[in-house]
Amino acid sequence: MKKSRVFFIRADGAESPDLFGRKVKDVLVPTGFVEKLAPEDFVALKIHFGEKGNTGHIKSAWLRGLAAEIFRRAPRAFLTDSNTLYTGPRSNSVEHIRLAWSHGFTPDVLGLPIVIADGLSGGDYGETRGGRGRVASAKIAGAIARSDALLGLAHVTGHVQTGIGGAIKNLGMGCASRAGKLDQHAVVHPRIQKKSCRDCGLCLDHCPAAAIVRNPDGVEIDGARCTGCGECLVTCKYGAVKIRWDEDSLRIQEKVAEYALLVARRFPNKIAFINFLIRVTKDCDCMARTQPPLIGDIGLLASVDPVAVDRASADLVLRRAGGTDVFRKGYDIDWSRQFSYAEKIGLGSNRYDLVELK
């Protein structure tokens, strides 16, 4: 497999927003992404807006110049993310958008609307078939599935389940609907924790598959009927619906890579990725707290190949750490599996040429 090109600009989060923003725009230019856009294209800028209380997420001011340039080319561009599998302010579109506003992602700053891609409460998705092993079909958040172009904006961090989170995770897990996230995270359908259940009936009313039933022992989920939509997880006000988390990191990484492939296939010529190696932390931006950085800021990387840009990001982080694997030090996970497996199924290449821009 031939090498992919990854473009790199040194940057520091302490730089002025204008200077940093120019670098964000400049690192994307050589990928040719913007030039491929048409005025009628719906362009999804996939980003993580940061959990409430999190301070390490990508800052809105850094994207001002990039957003303006994309808007000039394609006025239907929008910022997007999908709702979370767990309950909280990012589990429904109304609170999710308000949280994004509180972190500065407002129209007056970026000139772009926010569209939460899987609808009001995570049930809007398009299904893509043709998986390569663990995933028969991907349930992709509806607004992303119906877009014409995709730009992934990923803050590279460690991760409790995949070891590292970057372009691949932002593409695979981040673009999935709630049902798609459940596919990747869990091995079987959710369960009802009876000691927490108040038998209020809300989950029964909201289950689209009529898979939740009352019996003499209490409320239960019928695994034969459950479609894994995850509606019960956010409907329950008492935390009685529990996910049976998949504890096999290698399996999760492979499922994320397969989802990423099925998402990427929807944008054969109009997809690109920018990775932010700024305030690289042990945990992802879903953590509702300030986290200390593992290393000093490095810069920005861009490519049309999500595997290459993630591999180059990991290599630069380890090099800055003097060879110490700071990701594996945080969680003893072989994070390289997602890269090797992603290459095996055809998502991209681990071989790259790093082109430093001045």
Rounded-to-integer distance, Cα 96 and Cα 115, Å: 10
Residue 249's contacts (CB-CB under 8 Å, 6 or more residues apart) are 161, 162, 163, 333, 334, 337
Are 357 and 27 contacting, i.e. CB atoms less than 8 angstroms apart?
yes
With a threshold of 0.85, does the pTM exceed it? yes
Q: How many residues make up the chain in this entry?
A: 358
Selection from 49, 28, 4 nearest residue 306 by Cα: 4
User: Element (H or E) spanning 78, and its range?
Assistant: strand 76-81
In the numeric block, the tokens 């990991």 are attached to 314
Amino acid at 269: N
Q: Which CATH architecture has domain 4-183+248-356?
A: 3-Layer(aba) Sandwich (3.40)
Do 149 and 291 meet the contact criterion of CB atoms below 8 Å apart? no
**AA identity, residue 170:** N
The pLDDT value given to residue 52: 94
**105 class by beta-carbon count within 10 Å (0-12 exposed, 13-18 middle, 19+ buried):** buried
The neighbouring-strand residues paired with 149 are: 43
Q: How many CA atoms lie within 13 A of 336 on its CB side?
A: 6
- Provide the pLDDT for residue 136: 84
Torsion of CA 257, 71, 117, 312, to 10 degrees: 20
Answer yes or no: are the C-beta atoms of 261 and 137 closer than 8 Å: no
Spell 222-233 as b/e; 16+ CB within 10 A means b: eeeebebbbbbb
Count of other CB atoms within 10 angstroms of residue 108: 6
Mention the CATH class of domain 190-242.
Answer: alpha beta
Query: Which residue, among 110, 217, 192, 99, has the nearest Cα to 153 in the 3D structure?
Result: 110
Ordered mean pLDDT values, 10 residues apiece, the chain (358 residues): 94 98 98 98 98 95 98 98 88 96 97 97 89 85 98 97 96 95 83 92 90 91 82 85 82 95 96 98 92 97 98 98 95 95 97 97
C-alpha span between 95 and 293 (Å, rounded)? 28
Please classify residue 164 by burial: count the beta carbons closer than 10 Å to its beta carbon, then call 0-12 exposed, 13-18 middle and 19+ buried.
buried
Closest by alpha carbon to 162, among 105, 246, 81?
Answer: 246
Q: What does the pLDDT read at residue 354?
A: 98
Instruction: Identify the pLDDT of residue 14.
Output: 97
Asked if residues 306 and 71 have their Cβ atoms less than 8 Å apart, the reply is no
Please give the pLDDT value at position 233: 82
Provide the 3-class DSSP secondary structure of residue 155.
strand
Minimal CA–CA distance to 244: which of 258, 225, 230, 224? 230
What are the boundaries of each domain within the chain?
Answer: 4-183+248-356, 190-242
Q: What's the pLDDT at 188? A: 65
Which tokens in the block code for residue 122?
């995570």
Please give the helix or strand (H or E) that residue 301 lies within, else none. strand 299-303
Burial code (b: 16+ CB inside 10 Å, e: under 16) for 321-337 equals beeebbbbebbebebbb
